[in-house]
Amino acid sequence: MSNLKGRNLISITDFTKEEYIRILDIAEEFEKNPKQAILNDKVVATLFFEPSTRTRLSFESAANQLGARIIGFSDPGGTSVQKGESLHDTITMVSSYSDLIVMRNPREGSSRYASEVSTVPVINAGDGANQHPTQCMLDLYSIRKTQGTLDNLNIALVGDLKYGRTVHSLTQAMCNFNTTFHFVSPDELKMPESVKMSVRNANLNYYEYSDINEIIPVADIIYMTRVQRERFPDLIEYERVKDSCILTANMLKGCKDNMRILHPLPRVNEITTDVDKTPYAYYFQQAQNGVYVRQALIAAILGVRK
Ligand code: CP
């Protein structure tokens, strides 16, 4: 396996299957022992140009538990971006203040651009509707932990498959594991052709549905997503589709015993709260797994774990 020290993580396809597995193995070690002062001399910058709860706070918790210092912002309104400073200049400055940059930005391609400007590694914490590779890594961790394997699973991806960056990254990653994909969405929010082509290129099968009930008996993982109001150019279209895929506890009769429900969160109404009490709900543990996976990524990229 190649060394991850100094590498950027912009798209899930930047890492190989062997590298995913290595990160998951390191994350397992951190889950057993999350507080280790191995980054005492490091500074991690978290630059969030777009709102976040889990990604920013779990990155900061991960870095803090490893002894690193955190700098950054959660609202560009308090920075010189407001005075018209370019992303180029912001990244040039922050890379001289830190050892690693974690960035979320609403513009697709902005993280790749930042990695070309930066003198320190950049981790993409979400760039518009494009990619969210660290979410994908924690999704892989959660799937392996709940199913005991990543191989030969039936994965149903439900909801906003058009704008949902997490489902794009996860589909591409799971193409390495002989997955059968089930894409459930209204017509307006279907999985983009480019992502479906990744599945076809891997000689795997995908099936498309508009009714979530059809996939409940076959799925090992049901990966729910929020219909993202903020990505719609036309809010009338959002209103038309926002309630099209809702999962309730009553609908789970007949699911497999091993089936688990994932969601990158935040949820709005697509999983009703009665599902939370069922043995199939795993989304809050999934978010907790994000700390261990982000510890593994930070430690590997900063060269203190191989
Ligand atoms: N899953 C996720 O990206 O959540 P946040 O938007 O809260 O970071």
Residue 59's pLDDT band, with cuts at 50, 70 and 90, is very high
Which residues, at least 6 apart from 95, have a Cβ–Cβ distance to it below 8 Å?
A: 101, 117, 118, 119, 120
What distance in angstroms lies between residue 52's CA and the mean position of ligand 1's atoms? Answer: 5
Q: Which two tokens stand for residue 146?
A: 């709940």
**In this structure, are 54 and 73 located in the same domain?**
yes
Contact residues for 155 (Cβ-Cβ < 8 A; gap 6+): 143, 170, 174, 179, 180, 181, 182, 219, 220, 221, 223
Whether 189 and 236 share a structural domain = yes
State the total domains in the chain: 2
Once rounded to an integer, what is the mean pLDDT over residues 21-49?
97
User: Once rounded to an integer, what is the mean pLDDT over residues 107-112?
Assistant: 96
Q: Is 55 in the pocket of ligand 1 (CB under 6 A)?
A: yes
Q: Ligand 1: does its nearest atom lie under 6 Å from the Cβ of 58?
A: no
Query: Which residue range is the domain that position 147 belongs to?
Result: 133-287
Is 199 found in the same domain as 103?
no
Q: Are residues 156 and 294 in the same domain?
A: no
Assigned domain for 272 exists: yes
Whether 121 and 150 map to the same domain: the answer is no
Lowest mean pLDDT among 114-128, 160-174, 182-196, 229-243: 229-243
Work out the average pLDDT over 211-218: 97
Q: What is the mean pLDDT of the chain?
A: 95
For residues 302 and 100, is the Cβ–Cβ distance under 8 A? yes
Catalytic residue among 22, 42, 104, 165: 104
Has 104 been annotated as catalytic?
A: yes
Confidence (pLDDT) at 1? 52
Summarised one tens digit per residue, pLDDT across range 271-301 is 999 999 999 999 999 999 999 999 999 999 9
User: Looking at the structure, do residues 31 and 177 belong to the same domain, yes or no?
Assistant: no
Residue 53: CB within 6 Å of ligand 1? Answer: yes
Residue 242 belongs to some domain of the structure: yes
- Which residue CA neighbors atom 7 of ligand 1 most closely? 53
Does residue 106 sit within a domain?
yes
Q: How far is the CA of 200 from the centre of ligand 1 (A)?
A: 29
* Cα 145 to ligand 1 centroid, rounded to whole Å: 20
Say yes or no: 100 and 141 in one domain.
Answer: no
Atom of ligand 1 nearest to the CA of 287: 1
Residue 6 lies in a domain: no
Q: Please indicate whether residue 231 is annotated as part of the active site.
A: no
Q: Could you tell me if residue 306 is inside a domain?
A: no
Residue nearest to atom 5 of ligand 1 (CA): 52
What is the model's pLDDT at position 230? 80
The reported pLDDT for the residue numbered 56 is 98
pLDDT digits (tens, 9 = 90+) for 219-244: 999 999 998 888 788 888 888 888 88
The answer to whether 132 is a known catalytic residue is yes
**Does any domain span residue 72?**
yes
* Same domain (yes/no): 155, 241: yes
The domain spanning residue 154 has which CATH number?
Answer: 3.40.50.1370
pLDDT at 2 over 70: no
- Using a 6 Å cutoff on CB, does residue 135 contact ligand 1? yes
Residue 106 CB less than 6 A away from ligand 1: no
Rounded Cα gap, residues 182 and 66, in angstroms? 38
Quote the pLDDT of residue 249.
98
On whether both 149 and 79 belong to a single domain, the answer is no
Same domain, 139 and 273: yes
Does residue 52's CB lie within 6 angstroms of at least one atom of ligand 1?
yes
Confidence of residue 165 (pLDDT cuts 50, 70, 90): confident
Whether 173 and 125 share a structural domain: no
Ligand 1 neighbourhood includes 54 CB (under 6 angstroms):
yes
Residue 2 lies in a domain: no
Judge whether 184 lies within some domain: yes
> For residue 205, how far is its CA from the centre of ligand 1 (angstroms)?
29
Residue 277 sits in the same domain as residue 147: yes
